[in-house]
Structure 1
Amino acid sequence: MRDGAYVQAVNGARLDLAAGECLALVGESGCGKSVLASALLGLLPGNAETAGSAFLGALDLLAADERTLARTVRGRRVGLVPQSPAAHLTPVRTVRSQLEETVRELNGVRRGPRLRAAAEEAAERAAFPIGHLDRHPHELSGGLAQRAATALALVGDAPLLLADEPTTGLDRDLVERTVDELRRHIGSERALLLITHDLAAAERIADRVAVMYASRIVELADAADFFGSPGPRHPYARGLLDALPEREFTPIPGMPPELGALPAGCAFAARCDRATGICGTRPALTDGVACHHPATVPLEAPRA
């Protein structure tokens, strides 16, 4: 709720994620991606309301109480790489002390050289420089703070890793190194939900892609089909790829609607050159796309 009015930040989202898989959730800022991640971990503000189910094994995350989430879910069953690492790092403690505390709590390594070595190993996994471990968060650049938060998220080897914009503030080399490490986290019993608007990072590691627009999932596709041929089927998803510099570099016209004032029909219709009268009714997600006029022509390959 905002200013006394309800805002549908996430509406009707239906996703599945199997062990061994990376699902990339992509879309413009403000479409609801990070709200979805916060809901799964019980981190929404107190005036937020949730409905539905989100099962991790037999546990419904949306129905779990705070005690269960704090003691058995966060860090142990679900690891979070936060969008704003400065808000998740304790400002008065060094990165080393926070890593050692997390290793001690999640992995049972209590003290001495083993604890120190385990903390340094966790830092190396996230490309965090050992020489900066004894610094406080305010002494770190945005990119280093992001890598510190990634290191903390990887400690527990949680079955599900939620990475919310994990490449913010990183140069391209570190983007690739970071997402490759996140991909290595996936195993026979582990999965990754990558929330990003870095489509190059998603293309590098994702198995499937979910596109969110104005609180709703508008397309679900295999990554190979989405980034290759035939390409996305929803006009908005095609617009995202066409806006990339290595493709047509053509921005999507207009602006997304406010989540507190969504239209009754297709939320993308006002920006879409395919829109007709039927778009005044809301399309269902059918065969992986929520559109009355999905694309059928293969997308052109990126320019060399």
Structure 2
Amino acid sequence: MKLRVDGLTVRFRIPGATVHAVTDASFELSEGRCLALVGESGCGKSVMAHALLGLLPANATVTGHAWLDPTATRTDSSGEALDLITAPEKTLARQVRGRRIGLIPQSPAAHLTPVRTARAHLAETLRELGRTETPDALAARAGLRPEDLDRYPHQLSGGMAQRVANALALAGDPPLIIADEPTTGLDRPLVDATMTELRRLRDEGRAVLLITHDLRAAEQVADEVAVMYAGRIVELAEAESFFTRPRHPYARGLLDALPTRAFKPVPGRPPELTRLPAGCAFQPRCPLATPLCDEQPKLNGVACHHV
């Protein structure tokens, strides 16, 4: 299983303006690997995930490609690699969501129907996917006890809700897992437990796309890191290299902001996605900025004129 994203661009039309949510994003993700997509809130990380699943609102315009299994080790019904961006809704609903891509959403409890138990959620998902596995067996794979399944969402702790979300994502045994901010609202022990679960999924041979602003969490599981700023990927590197030798000034700033490092925030604020500056969007906050930065740098591992 392989995912190759090529030139993915997402725009939202709003009254009087256009939101440049994602611009020319490209990366690859293979089985048994975890790519962490990191950056400040609002930089376009979750929009990219929703674009891959065809879950954007009607005012979105999406261009580019996202080839699922471009090596054709798995194919769609026509025998060809599937482009998630141009695939019709019927194909995404019947062949992709839950079956080839599982989504672990942000704030899992908020995505559960409040008047239905965890068991009812799992049973319905298994039935829709045509699986014969029982809810109890599926829950056990996610570390849940049978008695946990009879709880309603408001009765679930943060850790339990996260495990229910993991179980739902695994119901169709998908080869690719997208985890969208899975540590939001969790304390550090639960964050560590969630990352342990994602490592297990990766080690089983699944591809994992982790979307997070928590660099400490990403460091526990990522094989590669893609740094987003103002809708663009500005650095793409192996995790070990990124966490020891970040190259883009923004990436260095993110790491320096960690409490375990300099604990120094990146100065300034990100630009509005409706009014991006010309050239490098990080220029107004960058200590290395020169007139050369008025021209948009190309991404060659890092998008910066002053590497």
Does TM-score exceed 0.5, indicating one fold? yes
d(CA) in 2 for partners of 1:64, 1:74 = 12
Aligned match of 2:152 in 136, 146, 166?
A: 136
Question: Does the C-alpha gap of structure 1 residues 19 and 123 become closer, same or farther in structure 2, counting only changes over 3 Å?
Answer: closer
d(CA) in 1 for partners of 2:131, 2:241 = 43
d(CA) in 2 for partners of 1:52, 1:86 = 33
Alignment correspondent of 1:152: 168
- TM superposition shift of 1:55: 0.5
d(CA) in 2 for partners of 1:59, 1:88 = 28
Runs of 4+ with >6 A deviation: none
Alignment correspondent of 2:64: 52
C-alpha distance after superposition, 1:221-261 (max 9, x if no partner): 11011112xx1100000000000000000010000000111
d(CA) in 2 for partners of 1:142, 1:188 = 25
Contact 1:143-1:169 within 8 A present in 2 as well? no
Q: Secondary structure at the match of 2:94?
A: helix
- TM superposition shift of 1:21: 0.7
Query: In proportion to residue count, which structure has more strand?
Result: 2
Letter in 2 for 1:61: L
Instruction: Give the TM-score of the pair, scaled to structure 1.
Output: 0.88
Contact 2:131-2:172 within 8 A present in 1 as well? no
For the aligned residues, what is the CA RMSD? 1.7
Letter in 2 for 1:262: L
Report which stretch shifted further, 213-222 or 198-207.
198-207
Contact 1:123-1:129 within 8 A present in 2 as well? no
- TM superposition shift of 1:2: 2.1
Aligned match of 2:209 in 175, 178, 193?
A: 193
Aligned match of 1:98 in 107, 110, 121?
A: 121
Contact 2:235-2:248 within 8 A present in 1 as well? yes
d(CA) in 2 for partners of 1:264, 1:69 = 36
Query: For residues 204-223 of structure 1, what are the structure 2 equivalents within 5 Å?
Result: 204-223=220-239
Query: For residues 1-304 of structure 1, what are the structure 2 equivalents within 5 Å?
Result: 1-57=13-69, 58-106=81-129, 108-109=131-132, 115-124=134-143, 128=144, 130-187=146-203, 189-228=205-244, 231-286=245-300, 288-294=301-307
d(CA) in 1 for partners of 2:90, 2:16 = 29
Question: Does the C-alpha gap of structure 1 residues 201 and 131 become closer, same or farther in structure 2, counting only changes over 3 Å?
Answer: same
Contact 1:85-1:146 within 8 A present in 2 as well? yes
Contact 2:37-2:45 within 8 A present in 1 as well? yes
Question: Does the C-alpha gap of structure 1 residues 44 and 83 become closer, same or farther in structure 2, counting only changes over 3 Å?
Answer: same
C-alpha distance after superposition, 1:41-84 (max 9, x if no partner): 00001111100110101100011111111111000000001124
Aligned sequence identity (%)? 65
Instruction: Give the TM-score of the pair, scaled to structure 2.
Output: 0.87
- TM superposition shift of 1:186: 2.1
d(CA) in 2 for partners of 1:86, 1:131 = 18
Q: How many residues align?
A: 284
C-alpha distance after superposition, 1:175-219 (max 9, x if no partner): 112111112112575200000011111111110000000000000
- TM superposition shift of 1:150: 2.1
C-alpha distance after superposition, 1:94-128 (max 9, x if no partner): 1111112223443622xxxx62431431441xxx4
